[in-house]
Each structure stands twice: as structure tokens, then as C-alpha cells.
Structure 1
Amino acid sequence: MTATKIRLDALTKRFPGQARPAVQELSLDIPEGEIVIFVGPSGCGKTTTMKMINRLIEPTSGRIFLDDEDVTRVDADRLRRRIGYVIQQIGLFPHQTIAQNIATVPKLLGWDRKRIAERVDELITTVGMDPAAYRDRYPKQLSGGQRQRIGVARAMSADPDVMLMDEPFGAIDPITRDRLQNEFLRLQAEIRKTIVFVTHDIDEAIKMGDRIAILREGSEIAQYDTPERILVDPADEFVADFIGRGASLKRLSLSRVRDIPLGDWPTVADGTDPEQAHRMLAASGRSSLLVLDAQRRPRSWVTAEHLRRADGRPLAEVGLPLATVGPAATLSDTLNEMLTARYSTAVVVDDAGGYGGVVDIDTINGAIRGMRTAEHERPRGDLEPPS
């Protein structure tokens, strides 16, 4: 059973002049190494609850345990240095360089200059940026997505066990947001931090969370469970309404390309003679061939019409463009790529860009049916939060 990293015990917050508590006697166990999402309607107390964990907001009553230590009354500044914090507005210091921003907490902890410099470069690399190009820049010289990456790097600077993330991708355009979500999930698979993540977006919660706490007003827990169970078996009408329509499509955010069997497709080398390729196409029983270069990287789809019009050109130059995805892509991401592509099949590539298989609409439908069956058959006790 997974150990509990954070335990909230009857946590309550009453603000002066308010008739009802913002958070009322919330008790919750957060497992070590998991992403736990707080999601709910505006004003339900999710951000207040998260801020009480590192005591940016002091609880009125109740207790907070971190690694079985009651941290409700310990020095708040010392507690915050143990917990990384990422907010929607990022909060980088505009007058400091990227390196200086990331070094904020290590300096407070008294790290020496060499250790800080090494950690800064390590983290800039970790979030997919080049230290030589970015360490001496200022926040205003970065795009919104780059600033968000640096915000995550700064939160990780002292290598905290726990990270709090308050709508960290909420102020970014949808394409960049999707990429950052995927990058963060890839990173989390390596670092296995305990993360409390606040969002108002149920689709983001389903994609990002190992467990989701759907909250009513006052941070009352309507359901605390895995995304799979919430989609298959919502606790009540409030949860069902909050999830909304399209639960089957939402399940596609739970499964990744690496989790499903891939289809295969007849391939042809880019330098193949068009007449030979035409014979291969006729023998394949398919309407197209997948063109691979010398490194077996997919380049295009070619049909019989493309082959007739090749006129001596490489096959990759005459076919239809590809939709490619990596093994870590969700099936939701994959479906989006398929729907926007000229040819409604996604080609799966490995880290080096090499061909690994294909995903088509039948694969997607099969995955949905499999998830539905598996979740209905799984014993309820397998999905209870740890105590």
C-alpha cells in the first residue's frame, strides 16, 4: 500500500465576516509520489485548502501532517522551503535573471555558489530548455510557456518532496498548455514528487491526476477517487453533472499510446522506384503505403495516385503529410491529431523518430470498450484511498 505523504485532519478555515467556513473539517490522505487534483466549482475552497498545506493561509482549526509530522505550528517559512509552489501567474521576479530566480530557495538554504550553479543548469535542462541560452535572460525575454517552465524549475530548485500547483497551466494558450501538461507528466514519471494540483477544468484533472478530489462548497469532498472510477461510477448527481457529457471521450485522457496494442502498416523506403512501390501497394490490400527514410522515420503517406505522379521525385515529396505521436501521448491527444490530419491514422514514433506502429479509429474504439469493461469489473476496494 502506498504511504501517506500529507494528511489533512479536520482542516477548517473561517474568514472574518463570512457566514460559512471557506473550508470545513476537511480530512484527506494524499499518497506519496502521486498527483492529487483538487477540482470543483468556483468558490468551493480548493485554492484555500491548498494554501493551508504550506500555510500561506493559516488554518482556523485542524491539523496538517507531512511525513507524519504535525506541521501546523512549526515555523511557516521553514515549512515552505520544503514545499515547491507554482502558481498560474508564475510569479518570477522581473528584475532577476532566470538563474537568479531559480536560485532563490537554494540561497535561502545556504547552498554554496557551485552547487547552486549546477542545480540551476540541471533544472533548466530538465524542463527542456538550454541553460547556455536562457540562464542569463530576464523573464520579459521569454514566452509565456517558457516562463511557466521556469516557474516549475524554480519550484523544484531545492528538490522538495512536495509540490503545490495552483492552476499552473491556466493562463497559457491551448496548444502550449497541452505540450506543457505532457512534458510535466513525462517529468513526473521520473521524479515521482507528491503533488497537490488545483484546477477548475475536469478534463485537465482527468489527464493529470492519479487521484481526484471533487469538492463542493466548503471543500466538502463529493468524491475522492481515481479518474477511472470517477468517470465510470460517479458518486452522485453533483459529480455526474460536474463531469458533464462525453465520459467515454474523457476516458481517452486516461490511456496512453504505450498502453495499447499498435497496428501495423505496409511501409516503403523513400528511394523505392514508384512502379515497384505500386506493386507493393497492390499486394498490401491497403489504400496507401507509409514512406520511411533511411533511419526508418515516417515521412508521408502515398496512394496509387501519388505514385503515378511521382515523376522521379522521392516518394516523401509526393505524398500526404503525417500525424505522428509518441508513446507517452494520451489517446485523446492522438485522436485530436487524427482528426486534424489529412489521413485519419496516427503514426507512432519512438524517441529517435523511428516508426513503431499506427493507431486508427478502431484502436481508439477498442481502448474505450476495454477501459469501460475493466473498470466495471474491478473490485471497489482496489481503488480506495490509502489510510
Structure 2
Amino acid sequence: MTERPARTTGSDRPMIRLEHLTKAYPRQPHPAVQDLTLDVPEGEIVVLVGPSGCGKTTTMKMINRIIEPTSGRIVLDGEDVTGADPDQLRRRIGYVIQQIGLFPHRTIAENIGTVPRVLGWNRRRIAARVDELLETIGMDPAVYRDRYPKELSGGQRQRVGVARALSADPDVMLMDEPFGAIDPITRERLQNEFLRLQSEVRKTIVFVTHDIDEAIKMGDRIAILREGSEVVQYDTPERILTAPADEFVSDFIGAGASLKRLNLSRVRDIELSRRPTVGEDATAEEALGVLRASSHPAVLVLDRQGRPRRWLGEADLKRADGRPLTSLGMPPEAVVEPHATLSDALNELIAASYSIATVVDGAGVYQGVVDIDRISDAIRAMRGHGRRPADTAAVEDGVHGPAGSA
């Protein structure tokens, strides 16, 4: 089993560099952020995580100058933007917040097109970009383009918020607790969806959360902060879990570090198990023959496009009585895509009647299954191998530049 490697873009310089950044408020005894230096590599997700009051949101808001720093420098793509026009700066940076912040009186298309309109794009270009982004986030433009935010679910509104942040194709995105106000099931799906999207668009992202599990799942690198935005450890998730810098980091990670490592590996990283399959046009007798020739308790029915439709056991097939296979058995309850973490897969298969998670690609085509044996093998491999030398070298070769580890 291979653990998730850090994404790289081939560039040695950071996309964002914060140099000795400080934010002090009048009549406050201590700065909210004090002398913070941090590099954010191009094309990576860097997560700022820490207890309430550690300054992580203040730090992020200084990057696009929603909050003005008291001192220090902000360098974006090699350009010192500390004194640049803040409105122009914000048009270069996508911004997603927990409350989403969609304009209620504007349609979904108008919300997504907000920044392109400010930038002077023509109507045809804006409309094409809106439709492209709606398709990218899995929302049919013909269905959702002219709806209003109040007509969407919380998860759909959050997707639109991400689409709006991507509308002008910014190199940098800031995400402040973007999935924090959503129910756990929707949150997990949106996290996976965003990671799939990031694998395609490769933006440089600063992501703020208070949840270490989310940080481990989402981040290429994690900066663990304490009061004043002091960087206690800035490292890969693997390194933070296997070699915490001090007791503060260990306590923040909490118990169950081995299980947390399931968030570091993805379904695509392991060898999938196979199950017997038949096409939806097969007869019950044909399906029964395929099932009996295998050592498994159920056969999976696939439609003409290769997408999973039903799990059928021997009892289902014996009482088919000429009915089509798609009317028998039960639908796959646990379906995951290759970019889902092993933790996601474990959660899904535990709740499934057949105790397996069915793996499909982006088009819904069957790829295989993940069962508890495969996940157990993965856990044993993690314990046995730990971090690979290449991962250690990536950190030691200065990926995080002047930030370092405290």
C-alpha cells in the first residue's frame, strides 16, 4: 500500500510567502498574530489548525487584506502585495467561508459570475464559465443556473460558494472553515468532492479549520498553531502523526493516531477486491451460475454502462420468478470513488448490509470493492513501513522555506 504523496508542481518557490507578519489590536495585551513566517508551496493545500483564539483566521484574512497587518510582508507569486490595492488583490484570490455568503436576491448564475463581471468579462464568456463550473461541481446548469440560494440545500449552496471562488480562475484560494456548518454526511461528501476537484485544478489553498481530522484529510501540509499564531509544527500530515514536535502537538492530535492515518491513504492507493458481476440483461439462472462459481455470497448487477445497480444473493435469485435482475436484491448502499480516504470507506462499509464499499470512477463505472480485509492490510502496512524516505527528504529539502518547525 502506498501512502498519499504530497502534490508537487515542479516549482521550487512558494506561491504565498508570509514574512514576520504581525497583527496587534489596540488595548489588547498580546498580538493576535506575532512575527509569523510561513511559505505556502504552489499547488498545495496548506491547513492552518489550532485551538480557538490562536489567530488562524486572522492570519488567513491578512493574506487578502480583509484584515490589514500591523507589520510584516505578504508576497504573492513573487510580488509584494502588502501595500497593493486591496480590491485588486482580492480579485486575484478566491475566498470561501463557512457561512457561504451567497447573495440571496441573485440567481446561482449571477452569484458565480460576480467577480468575472467586476473584471469586465462579456456576457457570453461569463455564461460559459458559469455552466462549466456548475458541471464541475456536479450541478446541472439547466436545472440550477436560474435558481436562487434559498431553493438549494446547504450542501448545494456550499458547492456554489466554491464555484464562485473559482469563477475567475484564481491561482490562490482561501477557505475559512468551509465545511464547518454542514451535517457530517454532507461534509464528508463535499470534502471528497473538493479533493477530486483540487486534483484537477491544482490551486494553491490556505485552509482554516479547528478539526485535526479534517486537517489530516485535506492538507498536503499542516501548520499547527498556538496563541499568537506561533507555528509549533509545519509539516506533512504523515510526519505530524508519526513524529509530533512536542507535547502540545501530541495533545492536539489526541488519541487514535493510528486510525487517523486512514485519512492519509485513499482508495486508489490500495489493491481493490473483486466480486462476481453480471449484466442487467442476464437471467436469474445465468447469475446464479456466476455466483456459485465464485466463493462470494452475492453477485453485483451492472447496467449497460458498467455502473452497479443491485447486489443479489442466492436466495434473491432463486425466487426471481422471471423478474428482471434490477428488481431484485438491494442497491449498493456504500459507494465510494477512488479519491475517498480509507477512513471514508471504512465508515461506509461498516453501515452497509454486505459490509463492503463499492468503488466507482467519476462516471459511476464499477472498479471493484473495498472490504475490511483490505483496510486491515492497509493499517498493518502503515504500522510496518511508517514514512517513506522520499517524504522525509521533501520536507528536509526546504519545501516549507523559512517557516520551518518550531
Distance 1:113 1:350, change over 3 A: closer
1:58 alignment partner AA: E
Instruction: Return the alpha-carbon distance in structure 1 between the equivalents of residues 162 and 342 of structure 2.
Output: 25
Distance 1:167 1:136, change over 3 A: same
**1:56 and 2:56 correspond:** no
Per-residue deviation at 1:127?
A: 2.2
Q: 2:129 aligns with which of 92, 102, 119?
A: 119
Per-residue deviation at 1:306?
A: 3.1
Identity of aligned residues (%): 71
Residue in 2 that maps onto 1:366: 377
**1:167 and 2:177 correspond:** yes
Per-residue deviation at 1:274?
A: 4.6
Alpha-carbon displacement from aligned partner over 1:288-340 (angstroms, at most 9, x marks no partner): 33334444433333333334333333444443442322222221111111011
SS in 1 for 2:40: strand
2:48 alignment partner AA: F
Residues 85 and 155 in structure 1, CA contact (< 8 A), matched pair in contact too:
yes
**1:348 and 2:359 correspond:** yes
1:367 alignment partner AA: A
Residues 11 and 25 in structure 1, CA contact (< 8 A), matched pair in contact too:
yes
After TM superposition, list the pairs within 5 Å mapping 1:123-202 onto structure 2: 123-202=133-212
Distance 1:279 1:70, change over 3 A: closer
After TM superposition, list the pairs within 5 Å mapping 1:240-259 onto structure 2: 240-259=250-269
Q: Which runs of 5+ in 2 are unaligned?
A: 1-10, 402-406
SS in 2 for 1:284: coil
Residue in 2 that maps onto 1:66: 76
Between 1:335-344 and 1:129-138, the stretch displaced more is 129-138
Between 1:294-303 and 1:168-177, the stretch displaced more is 294-303
Per-residue deviation at 1:275?
A: 5.2
Residues 41 and 200 in structure 1, CA contact (< 8 A), matched pair in contact too:
yes
Residues 238 and 387 in structure 2, CA contact (< 8 A), matched pair in contact too:
no
Distance 1:17 1:117, change over 3 A: same
Residue in 1 that maps onto 2:3: none
**1:13 and 2:23 correspond:** yes
Distance 1:271 1:148, change over 3 A: closer
Residue in 2 that maps onto 1:339: 350
Residue in 2 that maps onto 1:383: 395
Q: Which runs of 5+ in 1 are unaligned?
A: none
Residues 120 and 157 in structure 1, CA contact (< 8 A), matched pair in contact too:
yes
Residues 320 and 343 in structure 1, CA contact (< 8 A), matched pair in contact too:
no
Instruction: Return the alpha-carbon distance in structure 2 between the equivalents of residues 301 and 102 of structure 1.
Output: 40
Distance 1:291 1:128, change over 3 A: closer
TM-score, normalised relative to structure 1: 0.92
SS in 2 for 1:190: helix
Residue in 1 that maps onto 2:110: 100
Q: 2:86 aligns with which of 56, 62, 76?
A: 76
1:350 alignment partner AA: D
Instruction: Return the alpha-carbon distance in structure 2 between the equivalents of residues 148 and 344 of structure 1.
Output: 31
2:101 alignment partner AA: G
Distance 1:268 1:150, change over 3 A: closer
After TM superposition, list the pairs within 5 Å mapping 1:264-283 onto structure 2: 264-270=274-280, 272=282, 274=284, 277-283=287-293
Per-residue deviation at 1:54?
A: 0.7
Residue in 1 that maps onto 2:340: 329
Instruction: Return the alpha-carbon distance in structure 1 between the equivalents of residues 104 and 284 of structure 2.
Output: 58
**C-alpha RMSD of matched pairs (Å):** 2.1
Residues 20 and 35 in structure 2, CA contact (< 8 A), matched pair in contact too:
yes
SS in 1 for 2:386: helix
Instruction: Return the alpha-carbon distance in structure 2 between the equivalents of residues 100 and 272 of structure 1.
Output: 48
SS in 2 for 1:111: coil
Residues 10 and 63 in structure 1, CA contact (< 8 A), matched pair in contact too:
yes
TM-score, normalised relative to structure 2: 0.88
Residues paired across the two proteins, number: 387
1:333 alignment partner AA: D
1:381 alignment partner AA: A
2:358 alignment partner AA: V
1:291 alignment partner AA: V
Instruction: Return the alpha-carbon distance in structure 2 between the equivalents of residues 382 and 373 of structure 1.
Output: 21
Between 1:248-257 and 1:17-26, the stretch displaced more is 248-257
Residues 324 and 347 in structure 1, CA contact (< 8 A), matched pair in contact too:
yes
Residues 348 and 355 in structure 1, CA contact (< 8 A), matched pair in contact too:
yes
Alpha-carbon displacement from aligned partner over 1:316-374 (angstroms, at most 9, x marks no partner): 44434423222222211111110111011222223343332221111101112223434
Distance 1:231 1:11, change over 3 A: same
